[in-house]
Structure 1
């Protein structure tokens, strides 16, 4: 969609200020503009500031203070509340113009990568592409894009040229590099390649998407979508992305990719459809298929490509995604001694579904063997760190001996994982959690922000980052990220629900808190029972509270006697700690001074 930034009505392609204000009122009054009250304030604020000539001051910091009443200590890198709300408003505007605003004279958009709105007449014939500095709503925001004058734009035929696809890829790579360099001070020079280790990770051959529209004309879009999907899939370190058939010949032996990703692109008028499927190459069976429909009137081609590619990558490659589900069928609960590194990875995620302490012990041993056999495999070190940490945060009482000093081991192995590959989002996720439980919250949030900047499509990264933001006192932002993880993630069922239960508890909605925590798996995890105990106390359900207390005394006897320390390890603000402890007091739990 063309976006012409307002300039007091001097440009023939720019609506008058009065017309823009009328359109803003029309949007805010519509029931089809689905946005919360603070989202409506956000849109009104950025529009009015732009009309007043203060667009250059529309940064995350100023918006956070004016719209979200954040204090002067607000840090946009560690608190992405403004970016999250901007993404919500973009989706709200897209829906409005699709459903209720098709005949409106003026279109208001907020290009990705900036907070400065753009305005155009709906019947404008010229539709140059918006140039943005980042590819995702949650990426690190740079300077607002500055559209070139209409006379300098390319015509419609050249808009789909190959250069338009190279530019976003280069900018995205630069954004990721900047995020790592400035958010997280690790030397890129120490990264060790893992391609020579012979890992049996699932290989996915991404075949060029086909142009299947009648009359052609969509080859550039098909090529662009193919490249975007490859780039998004490559952010997941648990899979290997292949772009061509392995070489074959005498003396050349290479493992064949087990999966192939195939797709076709249709464009009819303003409608675009991508049909995509994952195929098991051994027998040609279709494991997964989906369609993605987009309206090119409300999203330009580059936005469509980025959006669809992110959704495809999330569905396929995230933990508990399509590839995991396809391979996890044969995963036993206790991995044998000769399992390879990828089988240990599958076993880890299978264990995470129910957090059974006995499976934890088997997974820990498997990952130890993997890191010994493959000492430069960053992801294995990251998963080992997370497994060590579970002994601390979930109060496991294992039949076998626990590792000595599991928190220290978690920190050391997480640092090892990041040293090996500073761009591995799973390694940064592990370091975030290890630092958080060590008490270094600032370092934890820096690591979380870096992991999220590298791969916002990874719901495990997004959900855990949301946890740490919420527990450090940034409840609105953290709870929003956890909610997003629950909506996009097929597993582990019950883990993020406990976080959302605490979100409801902290805002005083105890009924919702109880509903959320009851969705969690309460068989093994003492912290889930502790949250439910506090909720029952706040609700005055003392009989139910006594049952939870009895379970904790039987299964985690060290938890309640050290409750202040355990709560302080998770909730960083004293006011949040006191609020949670009040629920336990109401349940009859004695809290030491």
Structure 2
């Protein structure tokens, strides 16, 4: 855009106004980030504003910083946008100039306030993301090392939670809010508009270190989650901090985390009466956790409605792309144009937000259906890099890598994700079965087939029939084959088409198909 529309001195004045805001005064890192990109733009050096230059010149990273291996700039850019949103919805709402950093880039825009047309989140009156306040952790012992550790721990939890696109995180507070936190945390949460509070403290009892972290529903005061960590010492502070952060973030964040589950459980009316986006995301999540034809149809319908009403929502487009592909894998659709429809949705999502993790998740799956093994792996790696603590996404990506015949990579990723958070999409059982069929461990394949237990999908009967047949338990296998043909009459050719649509290992497809033929699956009806 033409920055000459607003004089440079007015933009510099606005920059100073923004940096006086309490959230920026409490974050030297984000203040340096904003000052750098504004100054470079006013000096007509926009083309040099890249992840590397921001990291080295504004965030004090070393000259060997590699943005492909470190998502630090992208993470802090998300935090910067949230602070700007907070500022222009409170102290700066009447300012004549607005500094705006569009998603997908780092070059700021300078806009006359009177010309704002609902730009991004700060002008959107419908809140879809729950707001989480990470209140400063306290040290109950008079030890400077514990004071420093507790402060860093709360900041790291804030930073890692901010990687999730489905929650908004507040980690810096004015002196007024800090004072209120010390008096009454629920009133403090109300003051900042938080739906949930994360608190923590460190204490020493009987010469043993205890670190307690709590998640509290601010509307009810209910303790949603509490975890106690008891490291022997904090001599290896970074390792302990990383372990605690990984545990807390994986269990709380994402659509499989406790925060989202708590909203669905305690405030269903909030979802139903809120935006079409939140309703669509919740129906997508319900389908992922529990398969039924009704759940699938609701998710598809709500996502179609959501992107029509809000065509700039990357996550909704990505989820819609996945649902189109699901219709092929479920045997509900065999139209060749379905992959094209999915590809359009995923491309749309990545155009809107190149750092949308859900979009990279969808692209990984899309590349399975396109039978593009190399790009499947590349998309998977990029997806995990954006937020490695998003356990639900990671389990899905691990499963997809198994489908793409990256058996060990996929299995290890899947296992690590399940250890972080046992909640996962229902269809990862297919990935586990494929892995164990490849390894010729048919007993474990049957174990995961039995865990599925969703009778409305063909995969329930397929996996059980295949595993039982490979174990030579023919009588039981034939019952499952009968259930399959009752649910959805299929020939061997049709089954093969479904299997090979996204499972890229010819060996696994051959074993599965032959095991079904051996117990009576016919080539023709």
Structure-1-length-normalised TM-score? 0.62
- Compared with structure 1, are the counterparts of its residues 496 and 188 closer, same or farther at alpha carbon in structure 2 (3 Å cutoff)? same
Query: Could you tell me how far 1:229 is from its partner in structure 2?
Result: 0.5
Paired with 2:397 and 2:136, the residues of 1 have a C-alpha distance of: 34
- Compared with structure 1, are the counterparts of its residues 179 and 553 closer, same or farther at alpha carbon in structure 2 (3 Å cutoff)? farther
**Partner residue of 2:247 out of 292, 308, 311:** 311
Q: Which residue of 2 aligns with 1:256?
A: 193
User: Are the equivalent residues in 2 in contact too, given 1:510–1:538 (CA < 8 A)?
Assistant: yes
- 1:552 equivalent in alignment to 2:468: no
- Compared with structure 1, are the counterparts of its residues 508 and 554 closer, same or farther at alpha carbon in structure 2 (3 Å cutoff)? same
SS at match of 2:444: helix
Paired with 1:403 and 1:473, the residues of 2 have a C-alpha distance of: 25
Q: Which residue of 2 aligns with 1:286?
A: 223
1:439-518 pair list within 5 angstroms: 439-492=371-424, 494-518=426-450
Paired with 1:409 and 1:254, the residues of 2 have a C-alpha distance of: 45
- 1:376 equivalent in alignment to 2:292: no
Q: Which residue of 2 aligns with 1:53?
A: none
Instruction: For residues 104-137 of structure 1, give each alpha carbon's deviation from its aligned partner in whole angstroms, at most 9, with x where no partner exists.
Output: xxxxxxxxxxxxxxxxxxxxxxxxxxxxxxxxxx
The RMSD of aligned alpha carbons is: 3.5
- 1:416 equivalent in alignment to 2:332: no
**Higher relative CO (CA 8 A, sep ≥ 6), structure 1 or 2?**
1
- Compared with structure 1, are the counterparts of its residues 285 and 332 closer, same or farther at alpha carbon in structure 2 (3 Å cutoff)? closer
Instruction: For residues 506-533 of structure 1, give each alpha carbon's deviation from its aligned partner in whole angstroms, at most 9, with x where no partner exists.
Output: 2222222212210112322212321222
User: Are the equivalent residues in 2 in contact too, given 1:379–1:427 (CA < 8 A)?
Assistant: yes
SS at match of 1:294: coil
Instruction: For residues 441-460 of structure 1, give each alpha carbon's deviation from its aligned partner in whole angstroms, at most 9, with x where no partner exists.
Output: 22222111101111111122
Q: Which residue of 1 aligns with 2:332?
A: 396
Query: Could you tell me how far 1:563 is from its partner in structure 2?
Result: 2.4
Paired with 2:338 and 2:192, the residues of 1 have a C-alpha distance of: 37
User: Are the equivalent residues in 2 in contact too, given 1:204–1:258 (CA < 8 A)?
Assistant: yes
Q: Which residue of 2 aligns with 1:114?
A: none
- 1:227 equivalent in alignment to 2:155: yes
- 1:519 equivalent in alignment to 2:451: yes
**Partner residue of 2:258 out of 314, 322, 336:** 322
SS at match of 1:275: strand
- Compared with structure 1, are the counterparts of its residues 508 and 270 closer, same or farther at alpha carbon in structure 2 (3 Å cutoff)? farther
User: Are the equivalent residues in 1 in contact too, given 2:400–2:431 (CA < 8 A)?
Assistant: no
**Partner residue of 2:70 out of 173, 176, 179:** 176
SS at match of 1:238: coil
- 1:189 equivalent in alignment to 2:189: no
Query: Could you tell me how far 1:269 is from its partner in structure 2?
Result: 11
Paired with 1:341 and 1:513, the residues of 2 have a C-alpha distance of: 37
Paired with 2:60 and 2:232, the residues of 1 have a C-alpha distance of: 23
Gaps of 5+ in 2: 1-58, 75-102, 108-118, 178-189
253-262 or 347-356: which moved more? 253-262
- Compared with structure 1, are the counterparts of its residues 255 and 203 closer, same or farther at alpha carbon in structure 2 (3 Å cutoff)? same
User: Are the equivalent residues in 2 in contact too, given 1:201–1:240 (CA < 8 A)?
Assistant: yes
Query: Could you tell me how far 1:171 is from its partner in structure 2?
Result: 6.8
Instruction: Give the structure with the higher percent helix.
Output: 2
Query: Could you tell me how far 1:234 is from its partner in structure 2?
Result: 1.0
Structure-2-length-normalised TM-score? 0.70
Gaps of 5+ in 1: 1-164, 181-186
Paired with 1:316 and 1:375, the residues of 2 have a C-alpha distance of: 28
Paired with 2:219 and 2:267, the residues of 1 have a C-alpha distance of: 20
The count of residues paired between Structure 1 and Structure 2 equals: 411
